[in-house]
Structure 1
Amino acid sequence: MTAEATWPKLTWETLQWETRIGSGPRYMTDTPYLPYKAAVPPSIADIYYAPPSEVATAAEDAALAIRDFDNEFGDDIAPFSAILLRTESVSSSQIENVTANARSIGMAELGDDSKRNATLVVDNVAAMNAALAAADSLEPAAILEMHSALMRHADPQAAGKWRTEPVWIGTSSASPIGADFVAPNASHVPDLIDDLMRYAARNDVQILTQAAIAHAQFETIHPFTDGNGRTGRALLQALLRNKGLTRAVTVPVSAGLLVDVRGYHDALTAYRDGNPDRIIMLTAEATFRAIDNGRQLASDIGAARDRWADTIKARRDAAAWKIADLLTRQPVINSKLLEQRLGLAPATIWRQMQVLEEAGVVKGFDKFKRGRHWRADEILVALDAFAERSGRRSRS
Structure 2
Amino acid sequence: MTSADHRAWPALEHETLEWVPASAWGLAAGADGRGLYDAAAPAFIAARIPDLSAPLVAEAGAATSELARFDAELGSRIQGFAPLLLRSEAASSSQIENLTASARAIFSAELGASRSRNAELIAANTRTMTAALDLADRIDADTILRMHAVLMQDQPRHTPGAWRGEPVWIGTRSDSPIGADYVAPHHARIPALIEDLTAFARRPDLPPLVAVAIAHAQFETIHPFSDGNGRTGRALAQAMLRGRGVTRNVAVPVSAGLLADVDGYHQALTSYRAGDPAAIVSAFAHAALRAIANARQLVAEIDATRGRWETQLTVRRSSNAWRLLDVIVRRPVIDAETAASEIGAQRPNIYPPLQALVDAGILKPKAEHRLGPFWRSDEILAALDRFAERAGRRNATGRITRRS
What interval of TM-score do these two structures reach, taking the shorter chain for normalisation? over 0.9
Query: What's 1:18 paired with?
Result: 20
Counterpart amino acid of 1:291? I
- How far residue 266 of structure 1 moved from its aligned partner, in angstroms, is 0.8
**Residue of structure 2 equivalent to 1:63:** 64
Structure 1 position 2, deviation (Å) = 5.0
Q: Secondary structure at the match of 2:350?
A: helix
Per-residue deviation, 1:213: 0.1
Cα distance in 1 for residues equivalent to 2:125 and 2:161: 13
Aligned to 2:238: 237
Displacement of 1:77: 4.2
Q: In structure 2, how many angstroms separate the alpha carbons of the residues matched to 1:19 and 1:103?
A: 42
5 Å matches for 1:145-160?
145-155=146-156, 158-160=159-161
The C-alpha deviation readout for 1:114-142, integer Å capped at 9, x for no partner, is 21000000000001011001001111111
Displacement of 1:372 in angstroms is 0.9
- Counterpart Cα distance in 2 of 1:214 and 1:75: 31
- Determine whether 1:190 maps to 2:157: no
- The question of whether the paired residues in 2 share the 8 Å contact of 1:20 and 1:30 is answered with no
Shifted more, 54-63 versus 1-10: the winner is 1-10
Instruction: Name the residue aligned to 1:114.
Output: 115
CA distance in 2, matches of 1:142, 1:259: 29
Structure 1 residue 209: deviation in Å?
0.3
Q: Which residue of 2 aligns with 1:169?
A: 170
Give the whole-Å Cα distance in 1 for the aligned partners of 2:22 and 2:145. Answer: 32
Q: What amino acid sits opposite 1:259 in the alignment?
A: A
- Post-superposition shift, 1:90? 0.3
Q: Partners in 2 of 1:142 and 1:11 — Cα distance?
A: 27
Amino acid at match of 1:10: L
- Residue 365 of structure 1 and its aligned partner are, at CA, apart by 1.2
Q: Give 1:140's aligned residue.
A: 141
Give the equivalent residue in structure 1 for 2:400.
Answer: none
Deviation at residue 343 of structure 1 after TM alignment: 2.4
Q: Distance in 1 between matches of 2:73 and 2:384?
A: 20
Tell me whether 1:289 sits opposite 2:290 in the alignment.
yes
Say whether the 8 Å CA contact 2:358–2:365 is kept in structure 1: yes
How far did residue 260 of structure 1 move? 1.0
User: Unaligned 5+ residue runs, structure 2?
Assistant: 398-404
Q: In the TM superposition, what whole-angstrom CA distance separates every residue of 1:27-73 from its partner, at most 9, and x where no partner exists?
A: xx836741111101110111112311121111001000001001111
Are the structure 2 counterparts of residues 156 and 32 from structure 1 closer, same or farther at C-alpha, using a change threshold of 3 Å? closer
Distance (whole Å) between structure 2 residues aligned to residue 48 and residue 336 of structure 1: 52
RMSD: 1.8
Q: How does 1:258-273 map to 2 (within 5 A)?
A: 258-273=259-274
**Equivalent position amino acid for 2:219 in 1:** F
Residue 9 of structure 1 is matched in structure 2 by 11
Deviations 1:207-228 (A, max 9, x none): 0000000000000000000000
Q: Quote the residue 1:209 is aligned against.
A: 210
Structure 2 counterpart of 1:87, which letter? S
TM-score normalized by structure 1? Answer: 0.95
Report the equivalent of 2:401: none
How far apart are the structure 1 equivalents of 2:362 and 2:32?
67
Q: Tell me whether 1:392 sits opposite 2:386 in the alignment.
A: no
Percentage identity across paired residues of the two chains: 48
* 1:32–1:100 distance in 2 versus 1, CA, 3 Å: closer
| Corresponding position of 1:51 | 52
State the secondary structure of the residue aligned to 1:39: strand
My pick for the range that moved more, 316-325 or 31-40, is 31-40
**Aligned residue in 2 for 1:26:** none
Q: Which residue identity does 2:378 align to in structure 1?
A: D
Paired with 1:20 and 1:332, the residues of 2 have a C-alpha distance of 46
Secondary structure (helix, strand or coil) at the match of 1:245 reads coil
Which segment drifts farther, 155-164 or 41-50?
A: 155-164
Residue 392 of structure 1, CA deviation: 2.5
Q: Deviations over 1:64-116 (max 9, x none)?
A: 00010011112234320110000000000000000000111111010124210
CA deviation after TM superposition for structure 1 residue 346, in Å: 2.7
Deviation at 1:189, TM superposition (A): 0.3
State how far apart, in whole Å, the 2-side matches of 1:286 and 1:393 are: 14
* Distance (Å, rounded) in 1 between the aligned partners of 2:290 and 2:33: 51
Q: Give the drift of 1:316.
A: 2.8
Change beyond 3 A, Cα 1:395–1:335: farther
Q: 1:10-41 deviations in whole A, cap 9, x for unaligned?
A: 11111111146547xxxxx8367411111011
Distance 1:140 1:19, change over 3 A: closer
1:350 maps onto 2:351 in alignment: yes
Matches of 2:300 and 2:235, distance apart in 1: 25
Give me the whole-angstrom Cα distance separating, in 2, the residues matched to 1:100 and 1:389. 15
Q: 8 Å contact 1:2–1:48 — kept in the other structure?
A: no
Aligned letter for 2:377?
Answer: A
User: Is the Cα contact below 8 Å between 1:19 and 1:30 reproduced in 2?
Assistant: no
Contact 1:271 1:279 in 2 (8 A): yes
Q: Which amino acid in structure 2 is aligned with residue 386 of structure 1?
A: F
Corresponding letter in the other structure for 2:324: I
Return the letter of the residue paired with 2:54. Answer: S
- The Cα of 1:340 is off from its aligned counterpart by 2.7
Cα 1:9–1:338 shift into 2, 3 Å: same
Moved more, 332-341 or 60-69: 332-341
C-alpha separation in 1, matches of 2:367 and 2:114: 16
Written as runs of structure 1 = structure 2, the 5 A alignment for 1:80-119 is: 80-119=81-120
One-letter amino acid of the counterpart of residue 13, structure 2: T
Q: 1:189 to 1:20 in 2, by over 3 A?
A: closer
